[in-house]
Amino acid sequence: MLNFASDYLEGCHGAVLDALIRTNLVQAAPYGADEFSESARGKIRAACQSPKADIYFLTGGTQTNQLVISTMLAPYEGVIAADTGHVSGHEAGAIEFSGHKVLTLPGREGKLEAAGVDAFIRSFYADGNHEHMVFPGMVYISHPTEYGTLYTAGELESLNRVCREHHIPLFLDGARLGYGLQAMGADVTLPLIAQMCDVFYIGGTKVGALCGEALVFPQGNAPSHFTTRIKQHGALSAKGRTVGVQFDALFTDGLYETISAHAIAMAEKLKEALRRAQLPFFLETPTNQQFVVLENGYMERLKEKVGFSFWEAYDESHTVVRFATSWATTPEAIDTLGKILLETK
Amino acid sequence: MLNFASDYLEGCHGAVLDALIRTNLVQAAPYGADEFSESARGKIRAACQSPKADIYFLTGGTQTNQLVISTMLAPYEGVIAADTGHVSGHEAGAIEFSGHKVLTLPGREGKLEAAGVDAFIRSFYADGNHEHMVFPGMVYISHPTEYGTLYTAGELESLNRVCREHHIPLFLDGARLGYGLQAMGADVTLPLIAQMCDVFYIGGTKVGALCGEALVFPQGNAPSHFTTRIKQHGALSAKGRTVGVQFDALFTDGLYETISAHAIAMAEKLKEALRRAQLPFFLETPTNQQFVVLENGYMERLKEKVGFSFWEAYDESHTVVRFATSWATTPEAIDTLGKILLETK
Amino acid sequence: MLNFASDYLEGCHGAVLDALIRTNLVQAAPYGADEFSESARGKIRAACQSPKADIYFLTGGTQTNQLVISTMLAPYEGVIAADTGHVSGHEAGAIEFSGHKVLTLPGREGKLEAAGVDAFIRSFYADGNHEHMVFPGMVYISHPTEYGTLYTAGELESLNRVCREHHIPLFLDGARLGYGLQAMGADVTLPLIAQMCDVFYIGGTKVGALCGEALVFPQGNAPSHFTTRIKQHGALSAKGRTVGVQFDALFTDGLYETISAHAIAMAEKLKEALRRAQLPFFLETPTNQQFVVLENGYMERLKEKVGFSFWEAYDESHTVVRFATSWATTPEAIDTLGKILLETK
Amino acid sequence: MLNFASDYLEGCHGAVLDALIRTNLVQAAPYGADEFSESARGKIRAACQSPKADIYFLTGGTQTNQLVISTMLAPYEGVIAADTGHVSGHEAGAIEFSGHKVLTLPGREGKLEAAGVDAFIRSFYADGNHEHMVFPGMVYISHPTEYGTLYTAGELESLNRVCREHHIPLFLDGARLGYGLQAMGADVTLPLIAQMCDVFYIGGTKVGALCGEALVFPQGNAPSHFTTRIKQHGALSAKGRTVGVQFDALFTDGLYETISAHAIAMAEKLKEALRRAQLPFFLETPTNQQFVVLENGYMERLKEKVGFSFWEAYDESHTVVRFATSWATTPEAIDTLGKILLETK
């Protein structure tokens, strides 16, 4: 059955697979000290224009978020995030499990606003009882957000300014970063992210890899003894090469960009199909995730013919659902989807 | 200087002090196994009409909240609380430090509504992604709340019903319980609390003791190896008698009730003084904490003559402040306060 | 350069790689609900003769150990392990990070003895102060151990008896399980392990997979809401298929057995080469890890020609080092090693 | 019945009680900001000759140990302690509960040796795999130890030297510090401790107070936001005065010294009584805890007439038990004990 439920339905891009095949029997050092990981680091540093960056390869997004937040916060600090942020509601309490509170602010279409963050921090320090409260110690954003929306360069710069002023780091969760970078009209680039954020990760699992995320500390500012900390979190791969080889391929000859751009082209085609079927968009997004509001009866009938994701209840008779494209989506699949959407009406 | 900043300004009630003096040189078993603690347990069981209750003595409120919540929740569960609940915002992240999320719902004057709790839990289980979220595992309420308000017997019964239905415990934080029980028109009694809640504590620190809280599991339902768990939290007193002796005194001859009733009488007199000075109440509360809105200039002048607590900013030129009475408040002090309030105008 | 430093130097076995290639573009459900993982579960259940087993796929050994131990222990319990156990000393405190103590007993060549475990638990309960101590809540063993040694069926049965008697689970860390099962004279089988242990994992990372471990609860006894708990630990893969596909291949047509048997044959050949070079064995091991004592000067010269692992200092002038074979070791490589060992003398 | 089971059998010393009575109705600021705590801090600073010391009052020893260790260690570090240290075995895993490993070394009569600590740290850094291990991040000693023994000034200086060299703090648990300072021949003084240790606490619960310990950071080196961290551990007292008043009394007119010296005089008398009864000492200790080896039959008969503590099994027919004196012990009680010891033979 046709499936648009997510962007992690297939294995990996062909060129990534080829790299795994090609390097398979080469003997390599363990725990991330291998030549493939080292080569991937060099390419990522170049792409970020961050020659001093510390780079670590991990296997999943929640793992990476937990690791970054718990190692960069002081014990008495929490992380500021949008109420719809992945760390706020969809990581099964992984942040609290590591001892920290998520300080949620109302998001606007999944985004935090610099002014709101600033006001929150100011009002924290103005509160006479703040010594009895959790200190704001970091700002977490996702780009694209959980709703597929994007920060503009100006918004990112404003968040950076607020963080600088209050001496706390800015962390960008880039689980779907490629799709954000290639979106129509996007003005945020990898070098800009590396300049504005204290730490961020480049998602692989949802952008062409079998598994893996590249965690970047652009100023060479990884917490001390970071390998030991990764191990302590149960997140250190003996065969670090497995992710390293994949990122080496993704950052060769602009592959990460090319496959992301393909997903965006497919998303534009998808939007057209959804529009033609007159399905109302829940919000506007320029990236690979599209959210539409379906009448529940229609949704049930559609479910039998095509895969998509439940997102949230809209009202008693309607539901918000997600259709996602990826590096693996074909134009033919979208054409077929377009027909199904209309036929099912 | 006259001081109404809180209900923990003095040492302990005279009868409690007498008990400490009287028992001082008696040799007693450590870690809560002493005769005084045992006697206090008997009296509390009687007052709660809970002959099977497990009772433990602890030294502070945040300590007790952290202990109860972290030992009664499964690791994948969080605690539901009002956004203004003590555990939500004013315990420096003690709950998250023990690994659990506080799932906040909007409070109404500090109170959780049963219908809101029920809707939250239902919508959690209806969410297709709930396996990736923190399970609601307990309901936390404070009585009186942080705003001095009270649940009615009917409201408590409704919360109990919701908790029963969803098979999660109801926990009542009674840091100021005495003042709630003796408030005018209050229909919630100790036996009712013991019937409706799975666990609660009777506050001593703010109600006549030097320090100490009595934690009650009314059905004898303390988590297994609870003494070991208290120790593990760093909360087990070698000299358990210190709190035991005090609760034994507080639950002898209705002392806890008498001194709480006195604080309520003083609160009624305080309300009159505040009304006479035409200070607008932030909300109506029948207990020992009174919240009024002061114009900032007036507040600054008043601050030089009498102690009270900053609560929260009201608007640019006004502030919410708290005046509290306690077992130790004298009518004369309130008379003097009344004069100062008027003179300072 | 020739390398015998570990059994995780290469990528994956050819048949595993073929499975990844073959399934690469099939769309599959996320988070372990995919058809490949389901198929692998069926094959592992059959191999273990445990039709009711709960099986989860994870990406690493420390991750799996931390997850199992922290979810199966009560908060007031610790895990009994040999002082040389992986969880005791070589996981960067991952167990303590999750809140639990490792209760170490002296190992005999890496192994725990049932009698010692029994005596430890009895003496714990006989200690009048045990309420102030960490309760023994689980027994952890590795098979093969960190020293390549193996439990006999009789020893495993004895450990099982002790655990049964004291009502605590027995956990077997099988990071290198295949090599243990195929060792000469080994009488422990997968069905026996499934019968004797409450939980164990079958290692993939070191036995033919790119990454991945199969965690087995043979009686269908996984802790409740286990997927949520995996997520909370940051250990849930969005693309669960990645490990599922690999285990499906490893448990097809006896591949796991075949490739393990190959490593053992290579180990026997390796032992011969080491013997011929008259290098004293640190201990006898029937599995793929061989430990010899090298004179430090010789060790330094050898290091320039072949890779091996530092294990521990032996005395001022000697060092214990490890040579490991794996599914990927060739007879030619060992022949060459044999020559180097002699030439370097 | 006569009781020598511990040094925390009675309430508090008369002068401490008087201070509580005298200050009882004075209104004081909460959370340790009161005048009594401030006065006590001044007196303790003087006694320690540490004018810059940060001082915090807490309610118990395990609480203080957990707080100090978990706030002064980096997440990837553990604390070095003697295997018989209180934090190693008798705090129900409170250290591990806060995420840290206790790295135990064999103690000599309860004491750590500087040379052993140095060798352990050196061998840690010499181990090629130490990145996968828990870093030694602090040294914990108790003085007197759990066996009543004492460090000499020279030994303390050696430990200080080792800690300085490896850049880790030295923490002294002084639950019974008074008894150590006043022991016959003791050459360790409060100012020396303040000079040699980075952090230590002065025990009150076992030395004259109802409850309470004074935590001292002699160089004003408390971890940042320490009040918030105390709160987060559930260890911040609303009525901080309760412990502050008691320490103010204990450090007035040399009371802490006087009452400790009394306990030591009583201990010398106790030793004589034990010697007269020809009970073999388990070890020599100059402080208030005396350990003797009793034949089990004799022990059972004695138990009916006098209280003492089980310590550990000695052999099949003998047990090590503890007799303790304190500030509250009378010469008459020891005379009576002497008679009972002889009569029971």
Q: Tell me, what CATH number does D69's domain have?
A: 3.40.640.10
- Structurally, chain C folds into a number of domains equal to 2
Residue A201 CA, chain-centre distance (Å), reads 8
Residue pLDDT, tens place only, B19-70 = 999 999 999 999 999 999 999 999 999 999 999 999 999 999 999 999 999 9
8 Å CB contact between C36 and C28: yes
Determine whether the interchain pair B132/C76 forms a contact, defined as Cβ–Cβ distance below 8 Å. Answer: no
Q: pLDDT, tens digit, for every residue of C53-75?
A: 999 999 999 999 999 999 999 99
Give percent of chain A above pLDDT 70.
100
pLDDT the model gives residue D345? 84
- Residues A193 and A155 occupy one common structural domain: yes
Residue of chain D nearest C75, judged by CA positions:
D97
pTM above 0.80, yes or no: yes
Do residues D248 and D330 share a domain? no
Q: Nearest CA to CA, how far is D88 from chain A (Å)?
A: 21
Q: Which of D70, D74, D231 sits opposite A132 (nearest CB)?
A: D231
Q: Of C209, C229, C254, which residue sits at a domain end?
A: C254
Between the CA of residue C201 and those of C11, C79, C142, C261, D208, what are the distances in Å?
20, 17, 10, 19, 54
CA dist C236 and C90 (Å) reads 23
**A235 to chain C, closest Cα gap in Å:** 6
D302: Cβ contacts below 8 Å, ≥ 6 apart: D294, D308, D340, D341, D344
Which CATH number fits the domain that encloses residue B260?
A: 3.90.1150.10
Please tell me which chains touch A, using 3 or more CB pairs under 8 Å as the contact test: B, C, D
Same domain, B223 and B287: no
- Strand, helix or coil at C279? coil
Enumerate the H helices of C233-279 as residue ranges.
241-250, 255-276
Q: What is the mean pLDDT of chain A?
A: 97
Q: Which residues from C are below 8 Å from B when comparing CB atoms?
A: 70-71, 74-76, 99, 131-133, 135, 224-225, 227-229, 231-232
Q: Are D218 and D50 in contact (CB under 8 A)?
A: yes
D135 vs A71, A132, A225: nearest CB: A225
Report CB contact under 8 Å: A102, B101: yes
Residue B345 has pLDDT above 90, yes or no: no
Give the nearest chain C residue to B73 (CA atoms): C75
Same domain as C285, residue C214: no
Mean pLDDT of chain D: 97
Same-domain pairing of B30 and B163: yes
- How close A36 comes to chain B (CA, Å)? 33
Averaged pLDDT for residues D110-123: 98
Same structural domain, A245 and A281: no
Q: What is the pLDDT of chain C when averaged over all its residues?
A: 97
B296-315 pLDDT per residue, tens: 999 999 999 999 999 998 99
Find out whether D143 and D173 touch, Cβ atoms under 8 Å.
yes
Q: Are residues C35 and C178 in the same domain?
A: yes
Note down the domain range covering B287: 2-7+256-344
Final residue of a structural domain among A224, A254, A284: A254
What does the pLDDT look like over D234-285, one tens digit per residue? 999 999 999 999 999 999 999 999 999 999 999 999 999 999 999 999 999 9
Q: Is the pLDDT of residue C211 over 90?
A: yes
- SS3 of residue A182 by DSSP: coil
Enumerate the residues of chain C whose CB falls inside 8 A of the CB of residue B99: 99
User: Residue D1 pLDDT more than 90?
Assistant: no
- pLDDT of C345 > 90? The answer is no
Tell whether A245 and A331 lie within a shared domain: no
Q: Are residues B205 and B270 in the same domain?
A: no
Residues C278-292 have a mean pLDDT of 97
Neighbors of chain B with 3 or more C-beta pairs under 8 Å: A, C, D
Contact B76 C131 (CB under 8 A): no
A99: which chain B residues are within 8 Å (Cβ-Cβ)?
A: 93, 96-97, 99
**What is the four-CA torsion angle of A85, A86, A90, A94, rounded to 10 degrees?**
-110
Report the chain D residue with the minimal C-alpha distance to residue A132. D228
**Chain B residue whose CA is closest to C231:** B132
User: Do D112 and D203 lie in a common domain?
Assistant: yes
- For the stretch C144-155, what's the b/e string if a residue is b when 16 or more beta carbons lie within 10 angstroms of its beta carbon? bbbbbbbbeeeb
> Is the pLDDT at B1 greater than 90, yes or no?
no
Q: Identify the band that residue C276 occupies on the pLDDT scale cut at 50, 70 and 90.
A: very high
Helix H or strand E segment including A248: helix A241-250
* B260 and B250 inside one domain: no
Residue type for C119, please?
A
pLDDT in tens, A250-277: 999 999 999 999 999 999 999 999 999 9
Q: pLDDT for B170-209, tens place per residue?
A: 999 999 999 999 999 999 999 999 999 999 999 999 999 9
Prediction ipTM score: 0.97
Regarding whether B213 and B197 lie in a shared domain, the answer is yes
Under an 8 A CB cutoff, do B234 and D235 touch? yes
Domain's final residue, options A201, A235, A254? A254
A307 — pLDDT class (breaks 50, 70, 90): very high
A1 pLDDT higher than 90:
no
